[in-house]
Amino acid sequence: MIPDLMEATRDYWRELDKLEVAYQQGDVSIAEVNARVKKLMTDLSRSRRESFAYLFSGIRRLWNEQREAIVGIAGLGVLTYGWLLVR
């Protein structure tokens, strides 16, 4: 499953907004706000780690499967750039 970092970030901000409203209305104490914010930040950081791990594993898999093609295209790019500079 692909981690959805954008949705996790939206959920984080949505929950922070709800928490702010509850605090301003006096429904939660500052200690409870601190505890909830800490949990929200922990959840968001977990989602970020999962997303980056997924991205880097995809890049690593692409490199392992297509190494020759990537190196070949990069070589052609360098040769073309050099040819355009000399010309």
User: Which parts of the chain register pLDDT below 50?
Assistant: none
Q: What is the largest CA-CA distance in the chain?
A: 73
Q: Report pLDDT for 28.
A: 94
Q: Report pLDDT for 3.
A: 82
Tell me the per-residue pLDDT of 2-22, one tens digit each, with 9 for 90 and over. 788 999 999 999 999 999 999
The whole model's pTM is what?
A: 0.72
Beta-strand runs (E) in 1-87: none
Domain extent listing, the chain: 5-86
In eight-state DSSP terms, residue 28 is: S
Q: Which residue has the tokens 């996790």?
A: 8
